[in-house]
Amino acid sequence: MDSRRSSRAVIDPKVRQVGFFTSAPLPPDRTQSDPPDPIRSPPLADASSPGNSLSPVMIPPPRHPSDSLLRLPHSPSDAFPPPSPTTTTTSLGDFSDDVTAASSPPPAAARVRGRGSSVKQQGAASSFPGGGFEVPPSVKAPSSVPASGLTTVSVVKLPPGISENAGGSVSVEVQSDRALNSKPLKEKTSKAERRAIQEAQRAAKAAAKAEGIKTPAVTALANAKSAKSTKPSPQRNDSAVVVAASEKKGGDRSVEKDRKKDVPHPRMQYDDKSRVQKLKKRSVVKPTEARNRVELFRHLPQYEHGTQLPVLQSKFFQLDTLHPAVYKVGLQYLSGDICGGNARCIAMLQAFQEAIRDYSTPPAKTLSRDLTAKISSYVSFLIDCRPLSVSMGNAIRFLKSQIAKIPISLSESEAKATLHSDIERFINEKIILADRVIVKHAVTKIRDGDVLLTYGSSSAVEMILQHAHELGKQFRVVIVDSRPKHEGKLLLRRLVRKGLSCTYTHINAISYIMHEVTRVFLGASSVLSNGTVYSRVGTACVAMVAYGFHIPVLVCCEAYKFHERVQLDSICSNELGDPDSISKVPGREDINHLDGWDKSENLQLLNLIYDATPSDYVSLIITDYGMIPPTSVPVIVREYGRGQLWIYEECDPLASPGRCSDAVFFVDGLIFYPSQHLVLSFWFPDRPPSGLNNDLLERSDNFVTVAENGNFTNFEL
Amino acid sequence: MDFQVVVLAGGTSKKLVPLVSKEVPKALLPVANRPVLSYVLEQLELSNIKDLIVVVEGADAALCVGGWISAAYVDRLHVEVATVPEDVGTAGALRAIAHHLTAKDVLVVSGDLVSDVPPGAVTAAHRRHDAVVTAMICSVPVSGLSEAGSSGAKDKTKKPGRYNIIGMDPTKQFLLHIATGAELEKDTRIRKSILRAVGQMDIRADLMDAHMYAFNRSVLQEVLDQKDKFQSLKQDVLPYLVRSQLKSEILINGAPQGQQAKENGNDKVSYRILANASTPSFHELYALGPNGSAPVRRTHKCCVYIASNSKYCVRLNSIQAFMDINRDVIGEANHLSGYNFSAQNNIIHPSAELGSKTTVGPHCMLGEGSQMGDKCSVKRSVIGRHCRIGSNVKVVNSVVMNHVTIGDGCSIQGSVICSNAQLQERVALKDCQVLSLSTSVFLSLSSNEYL
């Protein structure tokens, strides 16, 4: 490991030139020393911070705008020509050229490019302000309509805000709104003033740092808030120096706080009575808890399913502050109309899109803060309806960070347009394009004569099967299903309609049917960083049987569903479904022996929704970053899990080698274009890298990273 | 929530003719000494609905209703009253105010509905399925039932009437067939295409349309525009929408689904993911082409919300219903009346005066300022304000409105006595309606006569 490190250290400068570095774990001293000493030697830097966290993995990490600003000018222009209109051919490139040409000197241009298409959207929006969103006509029109035939006989004289609150609705939003209302009132200083104070504090801190930490008290401002800055906490000082980072972190922190206020902790222990009480007070749905709960799973929320829907329905008009689209999605979660990780995530994001479209910042509030609170209240409502999936959690985190990133100077319509396109981009790139890439990868694993087994209904697996069928591959599909949801039936129906040859069986027959199977394709709700696959209950069983028969298990999962959590079993975090659905068999009155089971004290039903498949049983995880072994999941989580967006472009480097002249190829299929920033595409590992034009690679002076079991080695070409 | 609420308060209904008059339109008929419209308005207010449009037939009635609402609900609700000519029907009434409707959906409630079903339940079911129309249906009221077993109730050999024939899918979410009015007498005809698409249909005759509908606004307006013959929501518009649900002729310009899918590739994929994740309703399956390609047939959804049996839900659309509702509101459904019941399970206004040996039984109500003589007995009845009742009077299962004078020794069973009526001594009334305006009654009357 040590030798590898040193070897990496040798090529370190080059890496940095193309913008390969991690932003978050950067030790402060590096950044500090950077501007005055750009061509500093990496061993020295390493020595100054031994054990620093620069990761040994050389996958393109997320870049920070300020970082690229600092570093790009130093890149040798022969290896990586600075972006110019002639070299950029992608549509994105075209666009950022416009921006460059319009206003900025090269460093600023790099920054603009770093922010990629969000800038594009802003620009577009600013060119025709308010064009993207038409403000819907006010709903309260009747009062203002020329009263032809309408006579107002009774008027509520209270101002609308008060009357809404007085409606007696017990909603979280109202409370939180009030809280927010009161806050800005307290500190009535203008934005500019506050800003000035902050700047002053920051400057003071920086000065203190320069003088040394010996005399922190001296730097204390005469300001009332100076108490905080006098605390000689090294962490704070660090963050004060890395201005950009501290700003970003600060934003995140406030977001975090907001979320903590509104949303129950994802792994809240529901057997803790006082906490459950507290939660219930805030909850909109007011669920009644199920009485007979299995001992081992008491920490999970379980409610009587029959009661939730009517309560939520009857609250329809009370939930004034909820956007109708969000309400509808919540209702669909609760009633089970929408299930499946991708679908739930898309539905939620589209509802948020609508909510943002109809959103208008109330007076005396800033968009980013108020909207974050609003989204938080929506999220807590959705949690009331059904616990969030990991995919939704990641999507929400992304959305909130995008909101936090919106500069205050942006007008409301522009900000809304930006967010709208951000969400659109998330759906397109993290889900749809990711699925497409997964399909491309996975299809290579299907050969003629294969018998593929799948369990339940996974959208990714379905696309794979359909695409393979369209390619004309000859294979057979075994769909394994289970009670009570029978999701496989829907998949079966669609596949049979497409003309695939299918076998349908229940999970009871898994050990029999596994004899004839050659590959197992599974979907996942989430992949955790120890490689555990968190998926529909029954998946673990299928994977284990396949493992026993030495049949490869391929899990198809988009990278946005990855999570850094580590989970060893399916007990500590899971979701409980409606126990009635396993006790009752629809359409079979004659075998409903368990009628009225909940009156019996000594019977507990357990309807788990998910289970955890240990990574031992998983041969391969097919994700949008390529096909990786389960041990490599932490790498993906670390390198890509920071909520940034990548723009994938499906380009075949062999088809258009000219465009790949400055690309970095990774053996796991990733292509990175340093000069175009953020533009990634894929090539296909089954075609050997030697298929690439060798002199092309030499000319472009790039290097290839080889991934093996999560340990990455770099070598220069 | 992007909903507008329209209350159809009607005018002077023909069915209720002895009870209603120019001064007392249907909406103001007293139920437990409160106008029946107040039950709807309060139920809506309870659901946090503050903006209402009340549509009244006839200018006189509109004046009365408007006057009452402005007196009773000032500062509580924002109510606008629209006047439409008489006999335009419910569809006509909505046509007349169509230009005031702007929200995405419209909730239409009949003003004579006495119910504790939260209107949000209907609207939520509507939104959940992106339906074109959602109707609330409830079980048919059992009229004349009274557990006390008083003679008046027993004599009535009324079986629950058939109001509607309703066909639903097995999940009881979608409305597949509805027969109303004259169609009830004919043979039931069901569309084969619908039956084939659904596979199974539950046909119920013990349910009735409660006249609370959630409509998609644009669809409603389109239907009202195109079909100008349509008179009634219940008999024309709703059956039309239900009939045509698998070969929709309406353009849903909100474009819930379908149209979006064609926009571009990515939207199509996300639409497909969403569609695959949910269990498709028979509409979607039917709309799909034979090989599961893009939707080829246009459909729309008609949903139902079935009020649970524990909820009270009756329409005041006949004299019998009027009696039943009065009895129920002070009886088994007394949470609706909004009064506090005494320990004896009745309400006697503190200003009412009772003679000696006068008993007021449970499930009774005695209005403000009423006087009763000695040895009277009141059972399961409502007596209005400022009535003067002599001694030795028996009132059973009856409704006595305001300012009624009843002479000594009268016996009133199962009757309605309207405001300002005067009954002379020793009059026996059974199953009668006595009109107001200083009518003096000398005779004994029985069974379904009115003066």
Using one digit for the tens of pLDDT, what is the confidence trace for A61-76? 444 444 444 444 444 4
Task: Say whether A316 and B119 touch across the interface (CB within 8 A).
Answer: yes
Q: What is the mean pLDDT of chain B?
A: 78
Residue in B124, B269, B291 closest to A497 by CB = B291
Using one digit for the tens of pLDDT, what is the confidence trace for A559-586? 899 988 888 888 888 888 888 788 887 7
Residues of A within 8 A of B276 (CB-CB) are 340, 343, 457, 459, 462, 490-491, 494
- What does the pLDDT read at residue A533? 93
pLDDT at B105 over 80: yes
- What does the pLDDT read at residue B404? 85
- What does the pLDDT read at residue B251? 61
Mean pLDDT across the stretch B249-275? 57
Q: What percent of chain A has pLDDT over 70?
A: 50
Task: Say whether A163 and B50 touch across the interface (CB within 8 A).
Answer: yes
- What does the pLDDT read at residue A600? 77
Task: Say whether B47 and A316 touch across the interface (CB within 8 A).
Answer: yes
Kindly give, in sequence order, each residue whose CB lies less than 8 Å from that of residue A51, ignoring residues fewer than 6 positions away: none
Q: What is the mean pLDDT of chain A?
A: 65
Q: Which two tokens stand for residue B77?
A: 């609700």
A84-88, A433-437, B303-307: segment of lowest average pLDDT: A84-88
Mean pLDDT across the stretch A513-524? 94
φ, ψ for residue A64, nearest 5 deg: -105, 140
Alpha carbon of B19: minimum distance to chain A alpha carbons (Å)? 25
Q: Which two tokens stand for residue A199?
A: 């700047």
Task: Say whether A154 and B124 touch across the interface (CB within 8 A).
Answer: no
Whether the Cβ atoms of residue B90 and residue B223 lie closer than 8 Å to each other: no
- What does the pLDDT read at residue B173? 85
- What does the pLDDT read at residue A438? 92
- State which residue of chain B sits closest to A335, comparing Cα positions: B128
Task: Say whether A316 and B79 touch across the interface (CB within 8 A).
Answer: no
Residues of A within 8 A of B67 (CB-CB) are 153
pLDDT at A484 over 90: no
Peptide bond into A363 cis (omega under 30): no
pLDDT at A682 over 90: no
- What does the pLDDT read at residue A33? 41
Give the torsion sign (CA, A73, A74, A77, A80).
negative
Mean pLDDT across the stretch A693-701? 35
Residues of A within 8 A of B311 (CB-CB) are none
Whether the Cβ atoms of residue A380 and residue A330 lie closer than 8 Å to each other: no
Residue in B54, B62, B127 closest to A331 by CB = B127
Residues of A within 8 A of B123 (CB-CB) are 316-317
Task: Say whether A154 and B74 touch across the interface (CB within 8 A).
Answer: yes
This prediction has a pTM of 0.68
Using one digit for the tens of pLDDT, what is the confidence trace for A302-314? 766 666 777 777 7
Q: Which of A151, A436, A487 to mutate to test the interface with B (most CBs of B within 10 A)?
A: A151
- What does the pLDDT read at residue A553? 95
Q: Which two tokens stand for residue B33?
A: 């000494």
- What does the pLDDT read at residue A9? 40
Using one digit for the tens of pLDDT, what is the confidence trace for B202-256? 888 888 888 899 998 888 888 888 888 888 888 888 888 888 888 776 665 444 4
Whether the Cβ atoms of residue B390 and residue B422 lie closer than 8 Å to each other: no
The angle subtended at Cα B327 by Cα B326 and Cα B332, nearest 5°, is: 120
Residues of A within 8 A of B102 (CB-CB) are 137, 139, 141-142
Residues of B within 8 A of A310 (CB-CB) are 121, 308
Residue B143's pLDDT band, with cuts at 50, 70 and 90, is low
More confident residue, B102 or A669: B102
- What does the pLDDT read at residue A641? 60
Strand partners, B7: B54, B109
- What does the pLDDT read at residue A260? 44
pLDDT at A31 over 60: no
Task: Say whether B266 and A340 touch across the interface (CB within 8 A).
Answer: no
Whether the Cβ atoms of residue A80 and residue A674 lie closer than 8 Å to each other: yes
How many CB pairs (< 8 A) connect A and B? 178
- What does the pLDDT read at residue B406? 86
Q: What percent of chain B has pLDDT over 70?
A: 83
Task: Report how far residue A106's alpha carbon sits from residue A267's, in angstroms, rounded to the nearest whole number.
Answer: 47
Task: Report how far residue A70's alpha carbon sits from residue B38's, in angstroms, rounded to the nearest whole number.
Answer: 71
Residue A254's pLDDT band, with cuts at 50, 70 and 90, is very low
A118-132, A450-464, A508-522, B368-382: segment of lowest average pLDDT: A118-132
| Interface ipTM | 0.80
A115-124, A470-479, A607-616, B49-58: segment of lowest average pLDDT: A115-124
Residue A542's pLDDT band, with cuts at 50, 70 and 90, is very high
Whether the Cβ atoms of residue A251 and residue A244 lie closer than 8 Å to each other: no
